Chains A and B, each alone.
Chain A
């Protein structure tokens, strides 16, 4: 057995992030509390440089390295760029919140960067084990992040729940992978898919094991996404974690989860599309239904947004289950749009919060228009976009996934999706009603750093601008799916 030196070039961004995360971890020890901003800036710089590297390395051809366990293709590049971007935005939004709560420490950034590394690995993994590795790296970072606020019982409880449930899900995923390995005798995704096709394993004596493995894998993915009935952790963790962490958990990992689906279900188990399509249909309907209906009953905006996430996952699954290139592009578009909207939505919660005040009750949004008309209009754009009202980008996201399923003749499913999205409009517009038509309960001034205000405004305006000119982002997503 000869050892061939692998080509490190495609993985330079990962290597860079790893080195920088370690460096920041150590460097942070030598930074005093009042100079913590150095850590923050170094983390941002890391993401910017990683983005530049990724852009430089970008090419449309698919490159495999590390004996085929790592892949770099158009989709991975696009997803990574959005991971950097959204993570950077998360860092900017959370600075004020963290420093007000004495959480402005190096750990947040180091864990955040390691999480980014985990997601990058998930995005570029081309082997069951690599996928698992990436997933675990991300998950461990997230568990720790939820528990960052050690003296908060809510945060500790949330971390505990997340950890236990996450462990179950990881176990199921790993079990599923081992069953699949047992059937095909390989962990490499392309080889696996080829073996299944070549030996026609979907119908033979191994079909039961194959199906069982597939179901387990789907459960693992569904947990990561937060699809019903594997969504239970979502509201509690979103609610219990510090808002800055919720912001992170709620947005970026969805990009990696999308890659997880693409690698495992589409590339690996593409042959079994007819079977996992039905499972995804059930989960999509349940997610859209439960997410939208229960969101109505929430009085806490973080919980409301958690249920909103669940419903968005339902829509995202629609694109996947269509099983067409167009559908995958639509799902990718939806995922990206979702992260942009969500990061803006939680960003708004952060903007309104201050020391000792979380701004996470719906009533805290009453009369926002009187307190800060600009914030109110930004929130209005974000809520309209989440509800899917044109001309915001949220409309095109919903439109493209629904179009994808109509094109595969699932018109009844499209009708269900539309009905649930109509139900969902209610709770988004309720926020707008509170902001514009009610009297404010809280009249203290809104304090925030100017950089946050700027980025948040850009965030909201991007939602509007992309809605008016959705073509470029759509084209990127279409080009990314080959």
Chain B
């Protein structure tokens, strides 16, 4: 059995890779249809096998698998391997990744229908699926890093997929650079692990971790830092880059320059959650450092609230959803910080479904509007796009945490977990996530009303062409709407039923979910409690404010805008992160570069070393060529001088 399971694990990973290679290298030969068939089948195989794995690991309760497939190299006793760790955490990630990926693959057939880079696109998204699967199935840090970088690469390629579009190139460069910052931290973290544990294998590292708690290191001489805290914070810096936490969040809104399926797959549902997954996977280490957990909690809380606020002033439909993604990632991070890893993963799962739904819904609107993304130019689309309307409504309700929808369960669990947490910063985080609920509801329904209700603001030409997109686009929407509603009902087994077993380690004093579990009285009890609790009323308040301001009295927002111009300007400038980065980091780096270029490169290296030597060699060459006079007696003379010199130097006693 285990042998055949190993084959299945391999097949899950390799099927999308195979599809990517065929579509990428032989795209011309197999044509457009060939490309989408081969990649869709590859991902479908992965999805079906992921269900098999889920059944095997979770339902049949088989022990988790941890094995090496291939040893890449052994250097001074450290093994660099490709291996799989498939436990309950991996199983659920496999399901999420392959399901969303499959939906996006199907959707893409319709969305990218007329694009000249059709085959290339399919190659990339299949390659992404492969990379993401490598990441979640890794059993060691090296492979994790491989997957980590590979998804980053594909993300870069896909944000700049329309490589003739100036803004897309800017965005992909930005995403790449910001992620480098995070990856640098991540790599340092891995290096620290290698240094202190002398191993890259999860199992070995986790086993040895508890013995390391007392260890300290001096990075700045004189101040001893706990090794575990340093490692965890470094790893978390990696997560901040990939999962777009403040202040490394700046790339995610810009990544919306890529095609919409990518925004759904990579920049909402899967890749950006890699950081969340990674921290959950590293729970045996994070649990050992309360400082690191506090950092995670506070960063997450800031992201959850303040990025949500930015969603209120955005007019681009995709950007609104993007800021909502940032905010929701903040929620997941908060859950991690509160040691409610299961809640974080749970929210990751429900969020993957409803956020992919929202993005694909937004994509459907964009197609219908002929690639118009400005919500102030939409309105009243309900009667033209009924299916999209209902799907978006489900997605939005799930996002704001309306009782009964998936988001309600996962978000409520997080808020309650933070409430129960006692680590430093928990109070601040609780306030942030509570206010975040109002903000989420407000921007979500602001967008919803502006797009589907209110009066029609588009031009006549667009209006005459408005119609529901092709079935291939609608189908994934419906398929994603289902889990957006029902995924929440797994709350009990996932959070309180010890679902994750030993895949996630929570120390006794941090176990916030256990405290929640004590008062858990079943789904309906949870819902009933939710209806009375503060978050629900905040969400309703947000929804109603949006309705009042944009549906009922559309004149008020303009007034607020002019009255509170200062706040509005702060928000529209996104707190000045971009300006600061452009000025300080980009400008500073360019300035420094120019300085080194002028002095180091042009003057020193080019001027003195390169051209200097070339010139002096040339000069020397031009001089000594005249030794060759052409006179025979000169030549004979040279020979004799040579002989004499040799005799004088080498014949002793002469």
Contact = CB atoms under 8 A, between A and B. Distances in A.
A236 B630 contact: yes
A293 B630 CA distance: 18
A212 B644 CA distance: 10
Contacts of B614: 426
B629 to A, nearest CB: 9
Interface string B613-654: 010011011101101101010111011011100110011111
Contacts of B642: 219, 229-230
Interface in A199-246: 207-208, 211-212, 214-216, 218-219, 223, 229-230, 232-233, 235-236
A136 B140 CA distance: 73
B635 A293 contact: no
Interface stretch (A64-72, A165-173, A404-412, A446-454): A165-173
Contacts of A165: 632, 635-636, 639
A211 B647 CA distance: 8
A173 to B, nearest CB: 11
B635 A278 contact: no
B638 A208 contact: no
Interface in B423-449: none
A273 interface: no
A211 B651 CA distance: 5
A223 B639 contact: yes
Contacts of A279: 646, 650
A103 interface: no
A462 to B, nearest CB: 32
Interface residues of B, number: 27
Given A293-B620, A294-B624, A296-B617, A164 B647 contact: no
A293 B650 contact: no
Contact of B639 (A232, A296, A423): A232
Given A168-B639, A233-B635, A296 B618 contact: yes
Contacts of A161: 632, 635
A297 interface: yes
A290 B650 CA distance: 22
A236 B638 CA distance: 15
Interface in A264-285: 275, 278-279
Interface string A408-435: 0000000000000001001000000000
A362 interface: no
B550 to A, nearest CB: 64
A361 to B, nearest CB: 16
Nearest to A286: B642
B650 A215 contact: yes
Contacts, number: 81
Contacts of B639: 165, 168-169, 219, 223, 229-230, 232
Interface in A141-192: 160-161, 164-165, 168-169, 172
Interface string B450-494: 000000000000000000000000000000000000000000000
B646 A219 contact: yes
What size tier do the contact residues of chain A reach? Answer: 35 or more
Contacts of A324: none
Nearest to B613: A423
A275 B650 contact: yes
A164 B632 contact: yes
Interface string B519-537: 0000000000000000000
Contacts of B647: 212, 215
Contact of A215 (B621, B641, B643): B643
Contacts of A218: 646
A290 B621 CA distance: 8
A194 interface: no
Contact of B625 (A160, A294, A426): A294
A457 interface: no
Contacts of A215: 643, 646-647, 650-651
Contacts of B627: 294
Contacts of A219: 639, 642-643, 646
Contacts of A208: 651-654
Contact of B617 (A214, A290, A293): A293
A233 B651 CA distance: 26
Contacts of A290: 624
A211 B652 contact: yes
B244 to A, nearest CB: 44
A423 B652 contact: no
A172 B639 CA distance: 10
A160 B630 CA distance: 12
Nearest to A207: B652
Most chain B CB atoms below 10 A, which of A172, A211, A295, A298: A211
Interface string B308-324: 00000000000000000
Contacts of B624: 290, 293-294
Nearest to A235: B628
A230 B654 CA distance: 23
A374 B618 CA distance: 31
Contact of A294 (B628, B630, B643): B628
A169 to B, nearest CB: 7
A299 to B, nearest CB: 10
A172 B653 CA distance: 21
A141 to B, nearest CB: 21
B416 to A, nearest CB: 65
Nearest to A214: B650
A224 B443 CA distance: 90
Nearest to A211: B651
Contacts of A296: 617-618, 621
Interface string B56-68: 0000000000000
Contact of B650 (A211, A423, A426): A211
Nearest to B633: A164
B543 to A, nearest CB: 69
A415 to B, nearest CB: 15
A428 to B, nearest CB: 14
B635 A232 contact: yes
A34 to B, nearest CB: 39
Nearest to B634: A232
A278 B650 contact: yes
A214 B647 CA distance: 10
A249 B273 CA distance: 73
A152 to B, nearest CB: 16
Contact of B628 (A169, A172, A214, A232): A232
A214 B641 CA distance: 17
A423 B634 CA distance: 27
7 contacts: A165-B636, A165-B639, A211-B650, A230-B639, A232-B635, A236-B630, A295-B621
Which 9 residue pairs are nearest across A and B when measured between Cβ atoms? A232-B635, A229-B642, A297-B621, A211-B651, A297-B625, A296-B621, A293-B621, A215-B646, A294-B625
Given A212-B647, A293-B620, 12 more contacts: A168-B636, A211-B650, A214-B650, A215-B643, A215-B647, A216-B643, A223-B639, A229-B641, A275-B650, A294-B621, A294-B624, A297-B622
